[in-house]
Structure 1
Amino acid sequence: MNCGQKRMVLSAAAFASSAASAVRPVRPVRHLPPAIFVAALAGCVSLAPPFEQPPMPVPQTFPNYAPATQSTVTAAEIGWKDYFKSPTLQGLIADALAYNRDLRLAIQRVDEARAMYGIRRADQFPTIGVEADLARARVPADLSGFGRPVTANQFQVGVGIASWELDFWGRVANLRDVALQNYLATDAARQAATLTLIDQVANSYLSLRELDERILLTEQTIATREKSFRIFKRRQEEGAIAKLDVKQVETLWRQAVALGAQLQQERATRLNALQVLVGKPVDLPQADVKLDDNAVMSDLPAGLPSDLLINRPDIIAAEYQLRAANANIGAARAEFFPRITLTGSAGTASTQLGNLFTGPSLAWSFGPSVSLPIFDMGRREANLDVVKSQRDQAVTSYERAIQQAFREVADALAAREWLAEQVDTLRKTVDAQAERARLAQLRYEHGASPFLEVLDAQRDLLDAQQQLVQTRRALLSSRVSLYSALGGGAFATSADVPAPSTHNP
C-alpha cells in the first residue's frame, strides 16, 4: 500500500468532508468512525471489516468415536505412499498425479490466479516509462503572423508516471488482498482435486480387484458345474437318472457362465474409467489372488472435527474465499472516498536536436487529480450491498463445507465399523453355505433328497461368496474414504506428489 504524499492527504480529507456534505448521507460513510480520518493522516487505512472466523456448525466429536483411543499421528501427516501399501496402487496414483487432465487443469488455474495476483500487486506501484517524441509542423503564411510559412521542430525526452493512484483508503490494497486470497483458494482447490483423484484411483483399483476375485470364484464354479453337467449327461445316457436332473445341472452351469460374462464386461468398463483417471493406458492384468486387506492400506485415527479446519483442502479454500469476500467490502467502501491519482513527467525539450541535453532545456509536468462521484443513483451503495451479500454467501459456503466434511468423516467411520461386522458375519455365512452344499450333495447321492436341493445350496453358496467379496471391498473403500475425508496427506512432504508432465504420455 503506497502511503506517500502526506501534504496531499490533508487536501484529500478536506475534499472528502466537503463532498460528503454536498450529497445525501449513505450508510457506509455515516457509520465510519472519526478514527479513520486520523489514521488517514498518519498513513493508509483499510476499510475492510475485521475478519472473524465463523464458529463450527457441527458437534465437537464424531459419532460413535472415542477420542481417548486416537493416535498421535493424524491422517494429514500420513502421505499416500505411506498409507497405501500396494506397489501397483502406488504406481497408479503416481501416474494419475502426473497425467490426469482434470488435475492438470487445476494446476493451470493456480498459475492463472498467481498471475492475477501479480497484476493486482503491481497496481500499488507507479508505472514509470521513458518517452521520446519528435514533432515537426508547418504553419502557412497567413497564419504564422510573419507573412511567410514557418516550419517548427520539437524534440522531447522524458521519464513519466502514468495515473498512479495514492491508495489512502486501501482500495487498491484490498483488491490486491482479494486476488491473493483467490490465488490461495485456487491452490487449496488444487490440493482438494489431488486428494479426490487419489480417492478415485484407489477406489477404482479396489473395484477392479474385487471383480478379479469375483471372476476367479465364478470361473471355478463354472469349471465345477461344467464337470457335473458332463457326468450327469453321461449318467442320463446310461439311464441312471432322469433328463430333468440333467437340465437342472445345465441351467446352473449356464447361469454361472452368464455371470462370468457380466463380470468381465463390468471389469472392462471399470478399467476404461481407471485409464481416464490415470491419463494414459493402464496395464493391469487380471489378478488370480484374493485381495489382502492388510496389504492394501493402513488403519487411521479419526481425530476431532476441529482438525478438519486445517486438514481439509476444500474447507481451507472456502476460508480463503471468505477472506477474499471480506476484503472486497473494503474496496467497495473505499469507493465512497476521493480517488487521488498522480500524473507527471520530467525531461528535456528543445526545437533543436543538438540542444536537447544542453542549455535551459528542462521540461516537466505534474498533474494531481482528485475525483469523487457526487450523484450516481445509489450505484456505490448498491455495489456495497452486493459485496456484503457475497460475503454472507461465502460464510454460508464455509459452514456448508464444514458440515459436508463432518458428514463424510462420520459416514466413513460408520461404514468402517458396521462393514467390518458384516464381513465377519458373511465369512461365517459362506462357511455355513459350503457345509450345506456338501451335505445336500451327500443326501442326493444317497437318494434322501431331490437334486433341486443341491441346486439351491450351490446357488446360495455362490451368492454368499460374491457378497462377501463385495462387502470386503466396501470395507476397504470406507477406509479410502476416511483418508480422503480427513484431509489425508495435507502435511506430508511434497515428494509424495510428482511434478506434472508437460507433455502427453
Structure 2
Amino acid sequence: MLSNVKYSCLALALLSLSYTACNIPEAVKKKENRSVPASYNHSQDTTNSAKLKWNEFFTDPYLDALIDTALHNNQELNIVLQEIAISRNEIRVRKGEYLPFVGFKGAAGVEKTARYTSRGAMEANTEIKPGKEMPDPLPDYLGGLYASWEVDVWRKLRNAKKSAVNRYLASIDGKNFVVTSLIAEVANSYYELLALDNELKIVQQNIEIQSNALEIVRLQKSAARVTELAVRKFEAEVLKTKSMEFDIRQQITETENRINFLLGRFPQPIPRNSDNFNELVPQTIYAGIPSQLLQNRPDIRRAEMELAAAKLDVKVAKAEFYPSVRITGSLGYQAFNPAYLLTSPESILYSIAGDLVAPLVNRNAIKANYSSANARQVQAIYNYERSILNAYVEVVNQLAMINNLGKSYDLKAGQVQALTQSISISNDLFKSARADYMEVLLTQRDALESRFELVETKKRQLNAMVNIYQALGGGWK
C-alpha cells in the first residue's frame, strides 16, 4: 500500500514537471553589448589619471581639506552608506531561506468535549490506568522542537541569494559613484569661488579706474571741453560697475554656502587662496584607453552588477513553475498532566512529513512575475549599454574641451593685454581732445568684459580637469 502511494506521488511529480516544461513562457533572448572603441584619439597608451587618488590629483591643500570633510560629513553619502547596510542584511535574509528553520514550541490548554458525541462517548469509556478515567475537561501540555526545510532542488533560493549579493555589490559601486560626484562638485564649486574672488578684484580695480576717469571728465567739463552729458555717462558707468560688485558678493556667499552644504555644516567662511588664479595650471590628463572605463567607472560597474542580479531574478522566477519540496518535522512531549509530561515513551510525540507542491492550474501570477523579470533583465541590459556609451561620450567631450579651452585661453589673454593697454591710450587721447568720451567708456567696458571672460575661461579649464577626472572614473579608489 505504501509503495503504491509512493509511486502515485512520483507519477504526480513527473506529470507536473512535464506539464510545466510545456507551458513556461519563452525567455527574452538578448545579449548585452560590451564593446567599446579601441582608443579616444588613436593613442594606445594605457596610462590613466583615474588611477590617482583624489588627494594626489588635487594639490591645493585648502581644496583637499574641504574634500576630506565632505567625505566624512556629507548627508547624501551617509544615506547611501545605510543603503549598503540594508543590502548586506538582504543577503542574510536570502541565505537564511535555504537553511532549515528550527524553533521551540510550548503550549498549554484545556478542552471540554461534548458528552453526546462519538468522541465524547469514546473518551467517557476510556481508562488511563485501571480505575482512572479520562479527565473531563481535558488539559493539554506540550513542549518540543519543530523544524521545516525547503529543499532547494531548482536552486531558486540560492539564486535569490546570489542576486542579493550582486545588488549589494551594486550598492557599493553606487556609493563609489556618489563619492566621485561629491569630489567633483566640491572641486568645481571651489574653483568657482576662486574665480568669483578674482572677478571681485577686477571690478574693484575697474571702479578705481572709472572713478579716476570721472574726475578727469568733471575737470574737462569745468574747462568747457565736454558737456554735462559726458559727466552723466561716466557717473552711470561707475554706478553700474559698483552694482556689479554686490552681485558678485552675493554669488560668493551662495557658492560658499553650497560648499558648506556639501560638507554637511552650517554656513561659515571657506578658507582659500585666490591669488594667482590665472596662473593655475590644470593637471595633465592621461585618458588611457576606453576599455578601462569598464573597471574604473563606478556607474558602469553598478549597472553590470544590477544586470547580473536581473539575470538571476529570471532564474528565480522560472523556478516558481517547478514543484517545491518541503520537509517538516517535530519532536517533543505532550500530556494532559504535567506530572506525565516527561514520561517516556508514553508522552513522546514526533512527526516527519514531506510535501511536494506544484502549480497546475491558473498560473497567471507566476507567468506575470516571470515576464516582468524578463522585462527587467532587458531594462538592465539597455541601462548597462547606455552607461558605457555615456561614459565614452563624456570622456571624449571633456578631452575636446580641454584642448579647445587651452587654445581659447591663450587668445583671450592676448585680447586682455591689448584692451588693458588701450585704456591708457584712450585716456591720453581724451585728455588731448583726440578722442571723445564714448571711446573711453567703450574701451573700459570692453576691457572689463575681456578680463571677466579670461577668468571664466580659466575656471572652465579647471572644471574640465575635474570633470575628465570624474569621467575617467577617478576619485573613489
For normalisation by structure 2, the TM-score amounts to 0.88
Deviates further, 353-362 or 191-200: 353-362
What are the within-5 Å matches in structure 2 for residues 80-479 of structure 1?
A: 80-139=54-113, 142=116, 144-145=120-121, 146=124, 150-162=136-148, 164-239=149-224, 241-281=226-266, 282-284=268-270, 289-291=275-277, 294=280, 298-360=283-345, 361-479=347-465
Residues 10 and 141 of structure 1: CA distance in aligned 2, closer, same or farther (over 3 Å): closer
- 1:377-421 CA distance string (max 9 Å, x none): 544334322212211111111000111111111111111111011
Q: Which moved more, 1:265-274 or 1:395-404?
A: 265-274
Give the secondary structure class of the aligned counterpart of 2:218: helix
Distance (whole Å) between structure 2 residues aligned to residue 350 and residue 434 of structure 1: 105
1: CA distance, partners of 2:294 / 2:474: 13
Q: Is the 8 A contact 1:100 1:278 kept in 2?
A: yes
From the superposition, tell whether residues 347 and 377 of structure 1 become closer, same or farther in structure 2 (CA, over 3 Å): closer
C-alpha separation in 2, matches of 1:278 and 1:238: 59
Match of 2:37 among 59, 71, 86: 59
Secondary structure of the equivalent of 1:155?
strand
Instruction: Quote the offset at 1:160 in angstroms.
Output: 1.1
Q: CA deviation at 1:57?
A: 5.0
> 2 CA distance for matches of 1:481 and 1:316?
19
Distance 1:13 1:436 in 2: 99
Higher mean alpha-carbon deviation, 132-141 vs 167-176, is at 132-141
- Go from structure 1 to structure 2 and tell me whether the alpha carbon gap of 1:292 and 1:423 turns closer, same or farther (over 3 Å shift): closer
The runs of 5 or more residues in structure 1 that have no matched partner are: 1-8, 32-47, 493-505
Q: Which amino acid aligns with 1:257?
A: K
User: Once superposed, what is the RMSD of the aligned Cα atoms?
Assistant: 2.8
One-letter amino acid of the counterpart of residue 54, structure 1: E
CA deviation profile, 1:229-261 (whole Å, cap 9, x unmatched): 234324433545433332332233222112222
Shift of 1:358: 3.7
Deviation at 1:142, TM superposition (A): 4.9
Measure, in 2, the Cα distance between the counterparts of 1:280 and 1:108.
Answer: 20
Residue 89 of structure 1: how far off its partner (Å):
1.2
- Cα distance change of structure 1 residues 307 and 426 upon mapping to structure 2, 3 Å threshold: same
SS in 2 for 1:76: helix
Whole-angstrom distance in 2 between the partners of 1:263 and 1:216: 10
Closer, same or farther in 2 for the Cα pair 1:11/1:336, shift >3 Å?
farther
Aligned length: 458
Native 8 Å contact 1:195 1:484 kept in 2: yes
Using the TM superposition, give the Cα deviation of residue 480 of structure 1 relative to its aligned residue in structure 2, in angstroms: 0.3
- 1:288–1:85: structure 2 CA closer, same or farther, 3 Å change rule? closer
Q: Give the one of 15, 18, 23 matched to 2:15.
A: 18
Flag the 1:312–1:242 CA change in 2: closer, same or farther, 3 A. Answer: same
Per the alignment, do residues 285 and 190 of structure 1 end up closer, same or farther by CA in structure 2, a change over 3 Å counting?
Answer: closer
The percentage of counterpart residues that share the same residue type is 27
How far off is 1:271 after superposition? 2.5
Asked if structure 1 preserves the Cα contact closer than 8 Å seen for 2:52 and 2:475, the reply is yes
Answering whether residue 75 of structure 2 is matched by residue 78 of structure 1, we say no
Secondary structure class of the residue paired with 1:449:
coil
How far does residue 54 in structure 1 lie from its aligned partner after superposition?
2.9
Distance 1:286 1:78, change over 3 A: closer
1:489 is matched with which residue? 475
Cα drift, residue 49 of structure 1:
11
Per-residue deviation, 1:80: 1.2
Farther off after superposition, 325-334 or 230-239:
230-239
Deviation at 1:217, TM superposition (A): 0.5
Take 1:65 and 1:439, find their aligned partners in 2: how far apart are those partners?
49
CA contact (8 A) 1:155 1:352 kept: yes
Output the amino acid matched with 1:59. Answer: P
SS at match of 2:37: coil
CA 294–241 in structure 1, closer or farther in 2 if over 3 Å, else same: closer
Q: Distance in 1 between matches of 2:447 and 2:8?
A: 91
1:344-402 superposed Cα distances (whole Å, 9 cap, x missing partner): 11122333323333431331111211111111254433432221221111111100011
Secondary structure (helix, strand or coil) at the match of 2:232 reads helix
C-alpha contact (below 8 Å) 1:49/1:326 kept by paired residues: no
User: Cα distance, 1:482 vs. partner?
Assistant: 0.5
Larger Rg: 2
Kept in 2, the 8 Å contact 1:348–1:363? The answer is: yes
Distance 1:470 1:462 in 2: 12
Q: CA deviation at 1:288?
A: 5.3
> Runs ≥4 in structure 1, deviation > 6 angstroms?
9-13
Matches of 2:290 and 2:419 in 1, distance apart? Answer: 43
